[in-house]
Amino acid sequence: MAAMRDCVVVGAGAAGMSAALTLGRARQTTLVLDAGRQSNLVAEGIGGLLGNDGRPPADFYAAGHAELQGYGSIDFCRGEVTHAVQEADESFTVTLGDGRRERARSMILAPGMDYRHPQLPGMDERWGDSVFHCPFCRGWEVRDLPMGVLATGAVGVHGALNLRAWSDQVTLLTNGGELTDQQREQLAGGGVDLDERPISGFDGPGTELHGVAFADGGELAIGALLVKTTLYQRSSLARDLGASLTEPDEMLGVEAIKVDAMYRTGVPGLYAAGDASTSVPPSMAAALASGHLAGAAAVVQLAAGY
């Protein structure tokens, strides 16, 4: 088995690499485990990250990897953790898919999340481009196009009204779901159209979106679609190690690892950062900040020897 490190970071997205940078600058021996499944790799560019606005995500991660290699205490390993346990001395042992085992005095979970959206024909190939889940990340790029919002209930009304910041033509698509009279009034008051017909698919070449097709044969011309998406943990690691998780609700829709202000999970030596630890809409900026704080908390714990 490998020698004991100060910290093992599960995930090499924005949060994981941010945490590793903080640990490396504090001269803590750190192993970053990269499964290579960063959620925003499908996006054309990063939206809303100062200094990197519009930059292809793959370029961002490559630059981050290169920066971290300048710190001799940071190592990378490509692979996915299949099992993790906390030992009697409160250190952690992780097992990778190839059977390799690694040990560390602390652990930061930053594996990203499993984004689950409605499965409709034509959605997957447009995901991250003309079909998206975060208006702050993608709204600017599709501004002024006629837009749809695929959701229902209060979250659909909220999302449709919010999207008016980017377009004067917004239609809430409930895909057969029904709204209350009060919700209909809210939409009308905000200048949002409503279409409750079941959807059969989407039209447009490649990743472009030109319209939504309905089961009754009708169509609606739109150029972009905001979709209600629920985020779930990608693995059972957090549960296996005794961390608590939130339950996805109608508005937030996130199964997040519960953490405090310094991203401590309540399990000694275990931290969580990035999408996996937040109940608010995910973003690269928030992921970087959470990774830094989790890394700093781990450094303090390691230095104090508790």
Per-residue pLDDT of the chain (306 residues; tens, 9 = 90+): 679 999 999 999 999 999 999 999 999 999 999 999 899 999 999 999 999 999 999 999 999 999 999 999 999 999 999 999 999 999 999 999 999 999 999 999 999 999 999 999 999 999 999 999 999 999 999 999 999 999 999 999 999 999 999 999 999 999 999 999 999 999 999 999 999 999 999 999 999 999 999 999 999 999 999 999 989 999 899 999 999 999 887 666 789 999 999 999 999 999 999 999 987 778 999 999 999 999 999 999 999 886
Which one of 1.20.120.1460, 3.50.50.60, 3.40.640.10, 1.10.3720.10 gives the CATH number of domain 4-114+231-304?
3.50.50.60
Residues 32-71: b if buried by 16+ CB within 10 A, e if exposed: bbbbeebbbeebebbbbbeebeeeebeebbeebbeebeeb
What are residue 54's phi and psi, to 5 degrees? 85, -5
Q: What is the pLDDT of residue 250?
A: 66
Fold of 118-227: FAD/NAD(P)-binding domain (3.50.50)
Measured CA to CA in angstroms, residue 137 lies from 161, 204, 207, 231 at distances of 17, 22, 17, 16
Buried b (16+ CB within 10 A) or exposed e, 262-289: ebbbebebbbbbbbbbbbebbbbbbbbb
Q: Around Cβ 103, how many Cβ atoms within 10 Å? A: 16
Q: Do 176 and 153 form a contact (C-beta atoms < 8 A)?
A: no
pLDDT at 34: 95
**pLDDT value of position 306:** 62
Give the pLDDT of residue 66: 96
pLDDT the model gives residue 19: 98
Residue carrying the six token digits 């710190």:
71
Instruction: Give the C-alpha separation, 86 to 260, whole Å.
Output: 20
DSSP 39-102: GGGGSSS--S-TT-TT--HHHHHHHHHHHHTTSTTEEEEE--EEEEEE-TTS-EEEEETTS-EE
Cβ–Cβ under 8 Å, residues 226 and 147? yes
- In the chain, the DSSP E strands lie at 4-10, 30-34, 74-78, 81-86, 92-96, 101-109, 113-116, 131-132, 147-150, 170-173, 193-195, 199-203, 211-214, 219-221, 224-227, 230-233, 270-272
pLDDT at site 120: 95
For position 220, what pLDDT does the model report? 98
Q: Residue 1's pLDDT is what?
A: 61
Instruction: Give pTM, 2 decimals.
Output: 0.94
State both tokens at 52: 């990197």
Would you say 271 and 108 are in contact if contact means Cβ atoms under 8 Å apart?
yes
Residue ranges, comma separated, of all CATH 3.50.50.60 domains in the chain are: 4-114+231-304, 118-227
d(CA 239, CA 242): 5
Residue 105: other Cβ atoms inside 10 A: 20
Longest pairwise C-alpha distance within the chain: 67
